Structure 1
Amino acid sequence: MKVNKVLSTLAVCAFTALSFTSCSKKENVQAPDAVSEDVLTQIKALGFTSTGAKKVDNGYLVEGDIFLTDADLKSAPQNEFLRVGDEEQYRTNNLVSVGTSQRTITIAVSSTLPSAYVTATDELIRRYNALNLRIRFSRVTSGANITLTKAPSGAGYLASAGFPSGGNPYSQVLVNSNSIGTSYATTYIATILAHEVGHCIGFRHTDYMGRQYSCGGSAVNEGASTVGAVHIPGTPTGVDPNSWMLACIGYGGNRPFNSNDQVALNYIY
């Protein structure tokens, strides 16, 4: 997610701060090794925007904070109902398997992160568990399903994550604690981490069709595609200014789940 500095820092999938924070992607880096046209085509075929796509270790960063591996790019799209719309709640084709009962997803905070991130993680867990979903979250010290760890030095995003695979959540959230800092643990930091965990369990940006809505700048949308962004029934067809899955967030901002977010989470889980 980026912070609007562009949630760019955060934006990795959390957000950055422009004085906005946007999902994990910092938008101004032209890597020496540009992303090939073939890869850009694969990114678009999966339903993601190729604008600003960036080569990173072991894969590619798209939409500011979403990590895709080479295996992701080569995966066959699933045939799901897609609605290409405006600002609504969206999920990916890949979700976490729950079965007929409840599933607990464990989260660990690496020692590479300051203690404020433990406090923030406990708050994000509280926010999710308060909704009584079929997935619940619990913090552990090791062997977690999702591990929050420090992003590489010089990362151009606030945080980044990927999407579920094989019925399991994405296993890692990279957090740029140098850019995010340690203030506002139960509001700003918790919002960023909750956003990234949202990606880990299969949610896309609420404003994926127009990231300028939360990030500012020129319009960035992916155009028509056939997979990758499935509209969640019951969520609005108009703009949603407070969703926890908006691509960017301002420094110090706080986005607990709004009523539309709750509808989306309860529909899926």
Structure 2
Amino acid sequence: MLTKSLVLAVGCSALMFGCAEQPDERQEIVDNLVEAGFPANDIMVVDGKVYVGRDAEVSLAASREMLAQDNTTQEQYRTTNLVSPVVTKICINGSTFTGAFSTALDLAIQNYNELPLTFAMARTPSTDCSFTINAVIQPGVVGGSAGFPSGGLPYHTINIGGGLSSYSVDVIEHVITHEMGHTIGFRHTDYYNRSISCGSGGNEGDAGIGAIHVPGTPTTATVGDSLMNSCFRSFETGEFTSSDIVALTYLYALKDYAGLNFEYADARRTVSTGEWAPGSYKAECASGEPATGLSLNPSSRHTRLALCRTGNDSRYPHDGCYARYFSTSDSRGTIATGDWDPGYYKGECGSNEFVAGVAQSTAHEITAVLCCPGNVAHTSCSARVFDGQDSRESSTSGEWDAYNWKGECGSGRYVGGLSRSSSGGAPHALLCCSP
């Protein structure tokens, strides 16, 4: 079953022109849209403006442009305007969402927060919100609608149809995540041919908001291959696909940092060091990058993300690296730093070495750090205990793992060691050092 995911509530009946000025221009827009292949129920007039795809206003020039465009087959598209990097926390006011809708909103927010983006998302009430989006339930509507960024800010409202109550939480999560995607600048992946996911429909065109291909995404749109397809199915999972993640990270990845999620699989920016911790999940920075942070999930007690400071810094080569295991006792390349986390097992690289990777077992116990010789001196070291709260020497990397506890070394500093609990194996503290 294919279901339209964007339905716009209208003040006038679709295709009727008695309630606004300039009917001739509107009629030409409608005629152009029909010629471009849009079915009548995909074209609406609201307050004298014509909408296509049920979420994007179409100007006369844009409707004419649709007729001149060739159909392309590139998948991920964005609008001309995006969200500014100064927006570091987007809050969602979903105070009227209850039951499955409330659960789905939480899961949609989690979808974005699982990626190391320039912004975090949170439900209100929350502190330090850069911008707040109002989430509204529209009774009787199946699907949702939203707008696109303007002035560096997300669109201010997402409308979610109350008719989705007959669908699963995953489907509602899908629709909410989709609409949130529009607010930060994503077009439909099949905007050029809505029949791909909807079974009918044509080219939405530029629509005056831009349709810019996101590099690195697939060259074809396919049913089920993107959460940003125009229409949804009754069995959606609500999760981003791999191409969605590529598009998000291309547009909004942390600058100068890379977050590596190794909670359930390896996340390595290089494999040149070989299988240095067999049987464990490994996070590993690339050559020229030190590890600078680590996060811990408060409820599951799983280690989630390792943070690398990106760039080809000659002080941090990836040569002569080795694993230092410390799951049953301390394993330290130097004791000059003293007992910097009493009562916890410590893995610490030598005085001229830095941590380039971290390993955890499939049972989520920290097992080892990857130590690499570098042009570092292991000076001015201090422990940052992050089991229980964030403990960050700097926040310039942004909110790189929202809702999880983060330990992080400051600008120009690196991880020289890591401690873990003796019972359960959760990480406890980072040893931050200066080169």
Counterpart code for 2:239: P
Aligned partners of 1:174 and 1:50: how far apart in 2?
Answer: 26
Residues 87-125 of structure 1: per-residue CA shift (max 9 Å, x gap): 4100001111114xx6111111142x4332221111011
Partner of 1:79: none
Out of 198, 201, 205, the position equivalent to 1:215 is 198
Displacement of 1:60? 4.6
Greater RCO, CA 8 A, separation 6+: 1
Residues 161-199 of structure 1: per-residue CA shift (max 9 Å, x gap): 11111111111111211x2116422x1111100000000
Displacement of 1:254? 2.1
Partner of 1:265: 248
Which has more radius of gyration? Answer: 2
Aligned partners of 2:143 and 2:27: how far apart in 1?
Answer: 23
Displacement of 1:213? 0.6
Out of 183, 190, 208, the position equivalent to 1:200 is 183
Out of 95, 103, 107, the position equivalent to 1:123 is 107
TM-score normalised per structure 1: 0.72
Aligned partners of 2:122 and 2:235: how far apart in 1?
Answer: 25
Percent of residue pairs bearing the same amino acid type: 34
Partner of 2:53: 63
Distance 1:212 1:193, change over 3 A: same
Displacement of 1:246? 0.2
Counterpart code for 1:249: F
Q: Is the 8 A contact 1:107 1:137 kept in 2?
A: yes
Distance 1:255 1:183, change over 3 A: closer
Displacement of 1:84? 6.3
Q: Is the 8 A contact 2:56 2:207 kept in 1?
A: no
Partner of 2:152: 167
Distance 1:114 1:37, change over 3 A: farther
Partner of 1:181: 165
Distance 1:150 1:50, change over 3 A: farther
Matched, 1:33 2:41: no
Aligned partners of 1:262 and 1:195: how far apart in 2?
Answer: 13
Aligned partners of 1:127 and 1:108: how far apart in 2?
Answer: 17
The residue matched to 1:116 in structure 2 has which SS?
Answer: helix
Out of 224, 230, 253, the position equivalent to 2:212 is 230
Aligned partners of 1:267 and 1:180: how far apart in 2?
Answer: 31
Displacement of 1:154? 5.5
Aligned partners of 1:41 and 1:95: how far apart in 2?
Answer: 30
Structure 1: gaps (5+ residues): 13-23, 77-81
Q: Is the 8 A contact 2:78 2:210 kept in 1?
A: yes
Partner of 2:85: 98
Q: Give the alignment's Cα RMSD to 1 decimal.
A: 3.6
Counterpart code for 1:122: D
Q: Is the 8 A contact 2:205 2:211 kept in 1?
A: no
The residue matched to 2:215 in structure 1 has which SS?
Answer: coil
Residues 196-235 of structure 1: per-residue CA shift (max 9 Å, x gap): 0000111000000111110013x51146888610000111
Aligned partners of 1:25 and 1:86: how far apart in 2?
Answer: 30
- Higher relative strand content: 2
Distance 1:196 1:132, change over 3 A: same
Counterpart code for 1:103: T
Q: Is the 8 A contact 1:110 1:150 kept in 2?
A: no
Partner of 2:174: 191
Partner of 2:92: 107
Partner of 2:135: 148
Distance 1:137 1:227, change over 3 A: closer
Q: Is the 8 A contact 1:83 1:229 kept in 2?
A: no
